[in-house]
Amino acid sequence: MEKAKKSYKRLRSAKELNRVVAEFYLECHEAKARGKPVGWMPPMNGVIEIFYAMDLQPVFPENWSPVCAAFGLAPRNFEVSAGMGFSRDLCGYLRNIVGYVYGPMNEEGTPLGGLPEPDLIISAYGGCVPAMKILHTLERRFPEAKVHTSELPQVGYEKIRPYHLDYCVSETHRLIEWLTETTGRKLDYDRLKEVVRLSDRACELWDEIMSYRRFIPTPISAAELGVMFVMVTRQGTQVAVDFLTGLRDEVKERAEKGIGMIEEEKLRLFWDNIPMWYNMGLFNYFEKMGGVVVAETYSAAWSMRLDPDKPIESLARKSLVSYPMVSCTSIKKRRDMVLKACRDFHIDGAVLHSNKSCVPITLGQMDMKRALEEELGIPSVVIDGDHMDANNFSVAQFQTRADAFMEMLLEKKGLTP
Ligand code: SF4
Q: Rounded to the nearest whole angstrom, what is the distance from the C-alpha of residue 300 to the centroid of ligand 1?
A: 15
pLDDT given at position 290? 97
Q: Give the position, in ligand 1's atom list, of the atom nearest the Cα of 326.
A: 1
Determine the pLDDT at residue 159: 85
Structure confidence at residue 2 (pLDDT): 47
Would you call 3 exposed, middle or buried from its count of C-beta atoms within 10 A (0-12, 13-18, 19+)? exposed
| 279 and 140 co-located in one domain | no
pLDDT of residue 53: 98
Within this chain, do residues 205 and 318 fall inside the same structural domain, yes or no?
yes
CA gap 76, 103 in Å, rounded: 9
Name the residue range of residue 93's domain. Answer: 12-187
Ligand 1 atom nearest to CA at 327? 1
Supply the pLDDT for residue 331: 84
pLDDT of 3 reads 58
Strand partners, 267: 291
Residues in contact with ligand 1 (CB, 6 Å cut-off): 91, 93, 128, 130-131, 274, 327, 358, 360-361
- Given this model, what pLDDT does residue 1 score? 43
The reply to whether 155 and 201 lie within a common domain is no
Burial class (CB in 10 A: 0-12, 13-18, 19+), 38: buried
Global pTM?
Answer: 0.94
Taking the chain (417 residues) in consecutive chunks of 10 residues, what is each chunk's mean pLDDT? 73 94 97 98 90 98 94 96 95 96 93 96 81 88 95 81 94 97 97 98 96 97 93 96 98 97 97 95 95 91 90 92 72 90 97 94 93 97 97 96 97 89
Give the position, in ligand 1's atom list, of the atom nearest the Cα of 387.
Answer: 3
Q: Whose Cα sits closest to atom 3 in ligand 1? A: 358
pLDDT of the residue at 326? 66
102 plus 230 within the same structural domain = no
What Å distances lie between residue 229 and 193, 257, 259, 417, CA to CA?
23, 27, 24, 34
| Residues 40 and 178 placed together within one structural domain of the fold | yes
Q: Whose CA is nearest to atom 5 of ligand 1?
A: 131
Q: How many domains does the chain have?
A: 2
Task: Judge if 212 and 243 occupy the same domain.
Answer: yes
User: What is the reported pLDDT for 151?
Assistant: 80
